[in-house]
């Protein structure tokens, strides 16, 4: 059985990719987040997406996405009839919260640049937690 939407899963993606962002001019952790979690699909395929939602809890997932949509857009914007859309939005939400938490623990923010020093700080923090 796969475990979906876990902090460990997000941490692994970050640790596997952060080194490649060291010292990129005018690049921020927000850009890193977009590259790793916003511009790519977490799950493609109705069957796997539906299975992930069932394992996670369909109503729990819908509630989290709805709450985030309302806080972000002022209304429920995500297509709740499409499991792929729900799982990808949920992954985005979880990754955003996790990354912001880890950056905060490293005394960094999403709009800090990905200097070698800053990337090393977040990698160290990720390994500690």
| Cβ contact 36:94 at 8 Å | no
- Output phi, psi for 40, to 5 deg: -130, 155
* Cβ burial, residue 44 (10 Å; 0-12/13-18/19+): exposed
Q: What's the CA gap between 95 and 9, in Å, rounded?
A: 9
Exposure on the CB side of residue 126, measured as CA atoms within 13 A: 24
* pTM (two decimals): 0.91
Q: Quick one: pLDDT at residue 8?
A: 96
Q: Quick one: pLDDT at residue 40?
A: 86
Q: Quick one: pLDDT at residue 25?
A: 84
Written as tens digits, the pLDDT of the chain (129 aa) is 678 999 999 999 999 999 999 999 899 999 999 999 999 889 999 999 999 999 999 999 999 999 999 999 999 999 999 999 999 999 999 999 999 999 999 999 999 999 999 999 999 999 999
Q: What's the CA gap between 56 and 9, in Å, rounded?
A: 14
């Amino acid at each position: 059985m796969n475990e979906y939407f876990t902090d460990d899963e997000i941490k692994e993606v970050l640790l596997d990719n952060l080194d490649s962002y060291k010292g990129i001019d005018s690049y921020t952790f927000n850009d890193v987040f977009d590259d790793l979690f916003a511009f790519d699909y977490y799950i493609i395929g109705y069957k796997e997406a539906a299975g992930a939602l069932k394992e996670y809890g369909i109503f729990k997932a819908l509630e989290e996405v709805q709450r985030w949509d309302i806080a972000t857009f002022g209304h429920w914007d995500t297509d709740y009839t499409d499991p792929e859309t729900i799982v990808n939005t949920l992954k985005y939400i979880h990754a955003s919260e996790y990354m912001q938490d880890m950056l905060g623990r490293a005394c960094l923010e999403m709009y800090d640049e990905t200097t070698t020093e800053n990337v090393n700080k977040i990698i160290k923090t990720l390994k500690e937690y």
